Structure 1
Amino acid sequence: MAPLSSIQRLVVTIAVLASFVTFLDGTVVTVALPAISRELGGGITTQQWVVDAYLITLSALILLAGSLSDAYGRVRIMRIGLIAFGIASIAVAAAPDPLILIIARALQGAAGALLVPSSLALITAMMRGEVQARAIGVWTAFTTGAQLAGPLLGGLFVDYASWRLVFLINVLPIAVTLFLLPRLGVVDRPTGVRIDWWSGILCAVGLGALVFALIEQPHQGWTAPGIWIPGVTGIVLLTAFLVRQGRMEHPLMPLDLFRIRNFGWGNLATLFIYAALSLNGFVIGVYLQQGAGLGATAAGLASLPLTILMILLSSRAGGWAGRHGPRMFMTVGPLLMAVGALLLLTVSEEFSYWWQVLPAMIVMGLGLSLTVAPLTAAILGAVDERRSGIASAINNAVSRVAGLLVVAMLSTIVGGTLDLGGFHNAAWVTAALMALGGAVSWIGIRRPAAPTQTGAVPAA
């Protein structure tokens, strides 16, 4: 198998670094939540909003960002996103109270929405076939590694410095990416594609209203006007968004893409798998501190086996899927993760990381390594490179919305309190979601047709 060329390695490096900051910032906060709650107050509701404020704008605007990437150029949109993300990160670190923190997190998510689709689209637009699958495998290993290493880095800052420094970790990768971008040699040329701003508003406001209702309903109940009115409004606006997508000439989310078998079924699998990953990541980071009594660093170290296995195996899994097809990997991987989630049911009042958590992390790490790169390659490899930006945006939006909704429903899932019983409830739900992801993959995913090109596609 020929190694990646120098330009291909540069593309992958830029894509990894640009995505790194959004993936890292989405998870590094997890182990900082107890410290944020202690300093600023607000309990579990503040913890949910710190996570979901970021995910709301990231999820809602990532489709708009995909269209902007296709319309105005991936490099230009990536550069704007990097600068805005850095500024928002500083605002988060300086927040004096929960409200300012949540607002700054929402702005951070909006900037992050510009980064992920434009960065991954660089790979899908400039490489095809087995080379693309291998490159996506490398991208997946490091970006998912950033997600999983985030809690460890966050824990170190919380225990030995301040939770505020957690949000400044991304300054260095932002600076390096801005330095490398001009060396890519890609000239952005506007395509004249019309941007559907109204659809972006419908999606953002609809998601925000629905998530508000899901987070706040445990305190007021579904019958309270302050809950059911936003809930119904959110559903109506999201329905209007979908209807509008079917009627627009240049929609934010082209519904015809879902008629492509691997794209449609792959995104359904993404919904279940990433909901499970988000739920598991949240409860592990918080319960190991508040329930098991570990420090923030120790809680962050709990996920280190997943990080190591992802870095070691994900690139290989991407190459295997390129040769043998993604179906088996996307089936076996989630089922392994379901087994890993069920192993967390062994966690008891007499807590032992080595016997109760570590086996689950190893099994989940193996399953995750087999799943993520083949999943991404199956979805994006099914779409023509000219629509790679919007396809990447849709897939990332699906994964973010999955995490957004499951975190919003956290109080309902755990029974109001993240104690041992709530932790076990979350493990059952995680396992069920993973099993659904594996079943959907087996039913829907097929091996793609042989590509016409296996090398790099010249940059426009």
Structure 2
Amino acid sequence: MTSQDQQAALAGPAQPVIVEPATDPAAEARHRRRLAVALALIVTCQLMVVVDGTIVNVALPKITEDLSLSTSGAAWVQVGYSLAFGGLLLLGGRAGDAFGRRRLFVGGLVVFTLASLAAGLAGNAEMLIAARAVQGAGAAFAAPASLALLATTFADGPARHRALGVFSMMAGLGLTLGLILGGLLATASWRWVFFINLPFGAATALLAPRFLKDTPRHSARFDVGGAITSALGVASLAYGFIRAASDGWSDGLTLSAFGAAAVLLVAFALIERGAEQPIVAYRLLGQRTRAAAYTNMLLLGAAMGGVMLYMSVFVQQVLGFSVLRAGLAFLPMAALQFVCARTAPTMMTKLGGKRLTTIGTVMLAGAAVWLVLLDDRSSYPASVLGPLLLFGVGIGLTFMPLNSVILAGLPPQATGSASGLLQCLQQVGSTMGVAVLTTVYGTSLRDSAAHPVPGLSPAAQLRHAWAEGIASAMYVPAALAAAAVVLAVVVIRDPARSAPQQ
């Protein structure tokens, strides 16, 4: 497909792969059951990928002790996964468009599952880090294919909105579920945080060919230059943020990583402008509402990535919760997010995507502002539960309409690329948010050490420093969420208004 063909396709209406169900009641019932199973397979894959991002964090102290990992070795257990996942997401999305999304979905899931087995069996740091990198690579191909399959399986409109509501709901639950499962499984053995993927991955990969209809493959001369520069550029950018979080923004390797990322991503942009079949089609960002939705995904990914990490630190270090109790502390947020995500499709029909996104981002901004008030006298019921409930409402109401805006009006041959870009921005945003919050947190800790509060014991002084540092760091997600509110109010439009611009 030439660049002219691609532009024409992107401008045209989407044609879902799944045909309308037959009028026979029995056939309609079978069709609905088939769609229900297809959605279950898609969200299971997404849930596995999301849970894996948090479940390992909880088990990392036990992994470090059992395998005698150094500080840098322990960090690379997560860094290896993040770099492979973030670096290959754009390529994974485009590969699904070119070679078939079901093929990439099953292939990526098999790689992810086998790598989970290898990680669980790892006897040394090198094997574990290598397995985690392969896990990230598998996830980078499976995750964009899962969202693209959802878009081509469910027609644009109420059916897709309901499916996206379930997808967004499970993705949000995965963050909390990872904390809870990590605490439970790590008490038996840290290896179970990887082995838990095996039955779900195997079952999903085996059932996918039966229940997921494959999308047409498009003739492709693969953009090798774009693939290499995008993978290395995004990986360098992610590593720069990771390095900044641990070694500071003026560190030589941090600056080198950002410099390499800048060169590689500029080269990627130049290559894409002349490519017949680019990794990321520029017209994905040419429509203002879709571009604003992508930007909000980046901003909110940055905001939520840092919040989840540092609120987990707060409830454990300042409030003294155990790992398992800390995971359970996030259950009210997960429950409310579940309820709101279930009702979001109906609310979107009544209010429109713009209003629903605005309400959700206002809730997220309000929750972050509330957390700025944390201190060492804060309690869970009075100071933590309320913001977590607001986060649950905000996540439940925001992510479904943003996903819908990004996927609306795209032809099947562009949904993989669109999904890859979406998840790449979320991953990079999360890494960026953690790095910036860590910088603010670390600066506050150094300031507290230089100016201790008179009369406090060393333990009380430490709790005070932790609380003050986390409260200071919360200004960052508050600012990011506020920017997302502005975009929702000023830029995003409902389809009826923005359609003439496409």
Name the TM-score, length of structure 1 as normaliser.
0.89
Aligned residues: 449
Deviations 1:159-186 (A, max 9, x none): x213332222222221221232132262
**1:443 is matched by which residue type in structure 2?**
V
2:352 — aligned with what?
A: 325
- For structure 2, which runs of at least 5 residues remain unmatched after alignment? 1-27, 446-464
Deviations 1:322-369 (A, max 9, x none): 443211111121221121122223433245222221111111111111
Cα distance in 1 for partners of 2:324, 2:365 equals 26
2:418 — aligned with what?
A: 391
Cα distance in 2 for partners of 1:412, 1:130 equals 43
8 Å contact kept, 2:101–2:214: no
2:492 — aligned with what?
A: 445
* Equivalence map 1:179-194=2 (5 Å): 179-184=206-211, 186-187=213-214, 189-194=216-221
1:163 — aligned with what?
A: 190
2:483 — aligned with what?
A: 436
Q: 1:208 aligns with which of 226, 229, 235?
A: 235
Task: State whether structure 2 residue 69 is matched by structure 1 residue 19.
Answer: no
2:442 — aligned with what?
A: 415
8 Å contact kept, 1:263–1:382: no
Cα distance in 1 for partners of 2:283, 2:77 equals 35
Cα distance in 1 for partners of 2:133, 2:196 equals 18
1:132 — aligned with what?
A: 160
What secondary structure is seen at the aligned counterpart in 1 of 2:150? helix
- For structure 1, which runs of at least 5 residues remain unmatched after alignment? 453-460
Q: 2:174 aligns with which of 143, 146, 171?
A: 146
Cα distance in 1 for partners of 2:430, 2:99 equals 29
* Equivalence map 1:262-281=2 (5 Å): 262-281=289-308
Q: Which moved more, 1:307-316 or 1:213-222?
A: 213-222
Q: 1:172 aligns with which of 199, 216, 226?
A: 199
* Residues 288 and 96 (structure 1), Cα distance of their counterparts in 2 relative to 1, 3 Å cut: farther
2:474 — aligned with what?
A: 427
**1:420 is matched by which residue type in structure 2?**
A
1:58 — aligned with what?
A: 85
* Residues 128 and 171 (structure 1), Cα distance of their counterparts in 2 relative to 1, 3 Å cut: same
Cα distance in 2 for partners of 1:73, 1:250 equals 15
Q: 2:94 aligns with which of 67, 71, 80?
A: 67
1:455 — aligned with what?
A: none
**2:144 is matched by which residue type in structure 1?**
P
**1:332 is matched by which residue type in structure 2?**
I
Cα distance in 2 for partners of 1:166, 1:218 equals 25
* Residues 25 and 308 (structure 1), Cα distance of their counterparts in 2 relative to 1, 3 Å cut: same
**Larger RCO, structures 1/2 (Cα 8 Å, 6+ apart):** 1
Cα distance in 2 for partners of 1:239, 1:256 equals 18
8 Å contact kept, 2:245–2:436: no
* Equivalence map 1:248-327=2 (5 Å): 248-327=275-354
**If you compute each CA radius of gyration, which structure gives the higher value, 1 or 2?**
2
1:46 shift after superposition: 5.8
Runs of 4+ in 1 over 6 A off after TM superposition: none
8 Å contact kept, 2:242–2:431: no
Cα distance in 1 for partners of 2:223, 2:382 equals 52
Cα distance in 1 for partners of 2:469, 2:287 equals 39
**1:275 is matched by which residue type in structure 2?**
A
Q: Quick one: percent identity of the two aligned structures?
A: 31
RMSD: 2.7
Cα distance in 2 for partners of 1:139, 1:94 equals 31
* Residues 303 and 221 (structure 1), Cα distance of their counterparts in 2 relative to 1, 3 Å cut: closer
**2:263 is matched by which residue type in structure 1?**
V
8 Å contact kept, 1:58–1:109: yes
